[in-house]
């Protein structure tokens, strides 16, 4: 019986010592593969992070999700943020060239999948819906249906003739922590920046945060009208022409009124005072709060009294940089507070 040509002859045999050597080689290769896989699994979440200093190409080892430590021009992160925004261009200019000019354009953040958006306002610019067109990152264009101004914060809300848009998420209150890293986006470019310690607003000083006790600014000079994003891609706010941040919470607190046609009204906290720091003994009495809002003037109808110390908004202890955000994040028409009065803890609903 003949053996097919592609198979070895039945009489062909391999010496025993060769078979042992082949088996040993297979074992060694298998061990190397296993070790390589193990090492790869161990280091799979380690990334090289560029130093934030100027003029250096060195890196440091850091652990964490990739979006937190991505390169300044990470295309995936940037592309995601561009999908959540549109560029408003004067219609006659865009129709004449088919390109987005570098001047007289406005970047807006999409708030709903039906095309509602918000953007910083240029005070000397008149906005008429029929004169503007919205351009997406893919070059799709949409008519602008309406504009509505919010002069208190130099913002403009508007709506587009379309749907199915990718919308943004609002940042959490915890992102107001000083030194929080942010991304500033301007004309499709990203720049790394961070929050400074909040600045107290002196009485009578102009502020674009309504009656907030503190203003938010950035550590480095950044272009006005930049859109600010957190490392998680959430919308943090806009930078206005004075270098002051208009934070997301002033938008989140009233944007649903805009959609329903309700006039824009910013409700202010019916009290004046200042944020103070508590001693360890005072903190123990105040439910471990480290700060409090010392009431100097209050509307008697609220139930607050002079010298009250507000320590919590809702169930959250206040901090200098979170006070206004906590007030505006209350979803009801009333605000619940915990306070100290003459050393005793009291709960009130304002």
Question: Domains of the chain by range and CATH?
Answer: 82-160 (2.40.10.10), 173-259 (2.40.10.10), 271-349 (2.30.42.10)
Tokens at 187, concatenated: 């004309």
The Cα–Cα gap between 230 and 167 comes to 15
pLDDT of residue 55: 31
Return mean pLDDT, the chain.
Answer: 77
The Cα–Cα gap between 81 and 227 comes to 10
Q: In the Cβ-directed half-sphere of 46, how many Cα atoms lie within 13 Å?
A: 8
Tokens 């002051």 appear where?
244
pLDDT in tens, 150-198: 988 889 999 999 889 988 999 999 999 999 999 999 988 889 999 998 8
pLDDT of residue 66: 35
* Integer angstrom CA distances of residue 82 from 43, 106, 185, 265: 31, 13, 9, 30
Least confident among 22-31, 160-169, 179-188, 304-313: 22-31
pLDDT of residue 329: 79
Identify the band that residue 203 occupies on the pLDDT scale cut at 50, 70 and 90: low
pLDDT of residue 71: 47
How much is the average pLDDT of 85-108?
Answer: 94
Does pLDDT of 62 surpass 90?
no
pLDDT of residue 87: 96
pLDDT of residue 75: 66
Task: Name the H helices within the chain.
Answer: 16-43, 75-83, 91-97, 248-252, 255-259, 280-285, 323-328
Paired with 3 in beta bridges are: none
**Residues 31, 37, 40, 44: what is their CA dihedral angle, to the nearest 10 degrees?**
-160
Give the DSSP H/E element, type plus range, for residue 87: strand 85-90
pLDDT of residue 14: 44
Tokens at 66, concatenated: 């990739």
pLDDT of residue 16: 41
Does pLDDT of 61 surpass 60?
no
How much is the average pLDDT of 47-65?
Answer: 31
pLDDT of residue 253: 86
> Residue 75, Cβ neighbours under 10 Å: how many?
9
Higher pLDDT: 44 or 224? It is 224
The Cα–Cα gap between 230 and 234 comes to 5
How much is the average pLDDT of 200-206?
Answer: 57
pTM comes to 0.74
* Integer angstrom CA distances of residue 321 from 200, 213, 215, 265, 269: 10, 9, 8, 23, 16
pLDDT of residue 13: 42
Tokens at 157, concatenated: 């809300």
The Cα–Cα gap between 223 and 217 comes to 12
Tokens at 225, concatenated: 């009208």
CA 268 to chain centre: 24
pLDDT of residue 31: 43
- Percentage of the chain beyond pLDDT 70 is 75
Of the candidates 92, 125, 130, the one whose C-alpha atom is nearest the C-alpha of residue 106 is 125
- Alpha-carbon Rg for the chain, nearest whole angstrom, is 29
pLDDT of residue 124: 74
Does pLDDT of 104 surpass 80?
yes
- DSSP letter for 33, please: H
Give the DSSP H/E element, type plus range, for residue 311: strand 309-313
CA 340 to chain centre: 34
Does pLDDT of 48 surpass 70?
no
């Amino acid at each position: 019986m003949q053996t097919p040509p592609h198979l070895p002859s039945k009489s062909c045999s391999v010496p025993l010592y060769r078979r042992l050597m082949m088996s040993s080689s297979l074992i060694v290769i298998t061990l190397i593969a296993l070790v390589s896989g193990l090492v790869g699994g161990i280091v799979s979440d380690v990334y090289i992070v560029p130093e934030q200093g100027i003029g250096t190409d060195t890196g440091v080892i850091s652990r964490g999700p990739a979006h937190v430590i991505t390169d300044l021009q990470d295309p995936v992160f940037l592309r995601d943020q561009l999908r959540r925004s549109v560029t408003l261009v004067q219609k006659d200019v865009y129709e004449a060239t088919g390109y987005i000019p570098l001047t007289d354009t406005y970047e807006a953040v999409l708030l709903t999948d039906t095309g509602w958006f918000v953007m910083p306002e240029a005070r000397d610019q008149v906005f008429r819906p029929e004169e503007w067109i919205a351009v997406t990152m893919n070059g799709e264009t949409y008519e602008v249906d309406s504009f509505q101004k919010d002069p208190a914060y130099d913002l403009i809300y508007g709506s587009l003739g379309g749907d199915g848009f990718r919308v943004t998420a609002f940042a959490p209150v915890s992102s107001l922590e000083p030194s929080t890293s942010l991304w500033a986006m301007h004309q499709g470019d990203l720049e790394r920046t961070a929050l400074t310690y909040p600045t107290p607003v002196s009485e009578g000083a102009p502020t674009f945060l309504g009656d907030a006790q503190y203003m938010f600014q950035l550590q480095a000079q950044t272009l006005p009208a930049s859109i600010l994003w957190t490392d998680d891609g959430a919308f943090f706010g806009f930078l206005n022409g004075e270098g002051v941040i208009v934070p997301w919470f002033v938008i989140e607190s009233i944007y649903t009124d805009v959609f329903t046609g309700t006039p824009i009204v910013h409700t202010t906290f019916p009290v004046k005072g200042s944020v103070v720091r508590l001693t360890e003994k005072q903190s123990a009495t105040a439910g471990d709060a480290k700060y409090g809002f010392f009431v100097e003037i209050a509307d008697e109808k609220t139930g607050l009294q002079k010298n009250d110390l507000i320590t919590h908004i809702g169930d959250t202890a206040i901090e200098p940089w979170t006070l206004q955000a906590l007030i505006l994040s209350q979803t009801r028409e009333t605000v619940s507070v915990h306070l100290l009065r003459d050393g005793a803890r009291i709960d009130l609903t304002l």
